[in-house]
Structure 1
Amino acid sequence: MSGSDYRTGREGEFTYRGYDLDELQDMSLEEVAELLPARMRRSILRGLTVEQEKLLEKARNTTAQESANSPIRTHLRDMPVLPSFVEKTFAVYNGSDFERVRIEPEMLGHYLGEFQLTRTSVEHGQAGIGATRSSKFVPLK
């Protein structure tokens, strides 16, 4: 997705492919799918899974205030971010625990899992007890 696909107007108004957020939220799922990238469009037009349908209904029936207090928990990292998700908070599973993700308008056209990383950086310390013979000797500098 290039930078020209979504932008903030002069007044700070968000637009996605020529439509503002209110227009996107009034559209049907099939109309929104036509604006999304090809992979997401294909998965929506072929039909969402049962779990994805449940998540979509839960998001539609939950207000932004309710989701801020108790986020919508999900394992569905492959769920596309849709206009009905904007301003709501999700707890996305990253493999070990659920992390909060607040959906912003700029996240449209991405997947939920893109905003919650599954891997962390590893910082190795010095060799300690139980290390091999050769690694115990750290050169002095």
Structure 2
Amino acid sequence: MSDNFLKPVYSWIIIFVVSAGMVLFVFYQNRQIDFETKNMVREMTASKIVNVRPKTRVIIDYGNGKKRVFEGAVIKGMNLQDVFWGIEYSAGIVFGVRNREIESIDGVKSRPPKKWNYYINNNIKQDDNPLDKEIGAGDKIFLVYE
């Protein structure tokens, strides 16, 4: 065999080996970054640098068997209006509140004899202004059309 024939073969072998090495290096680096990230999160959580807060859950019960559930984090000082704004922004559900009462949710209006009521943590029906009600981490908010 001539030397001219072997030059392209050697070139392709070198290209293949270098490419395979690059792919293996990328996979190795990805695993290393993932490992370091998990360790960092574990250490931060263990040392209480990051305070893992329970998520607040909002359950909307339309009274006809249809329910929608939303979860998210809240911080100290947030009220129910902030939660409503978060749901409006993320899911497009519009909340109408007037005269200290929930007037409509997602286009479903309060009409006698049914109206929107809200409960926090399975407690009795709330009567105060929903927009001023302070919400804490881990609260469960039930919005029920009844």
Calculate the TM-score normalised by the size of structure 1: 0.26
Larger Rg: 2
Which protein is richer in strand relative to its size?
A: 2
Bigger RCO (CA 8 Å, 6+ sep) = 2
Calculate the TM-score normalised by the size of structure 2: 0.25
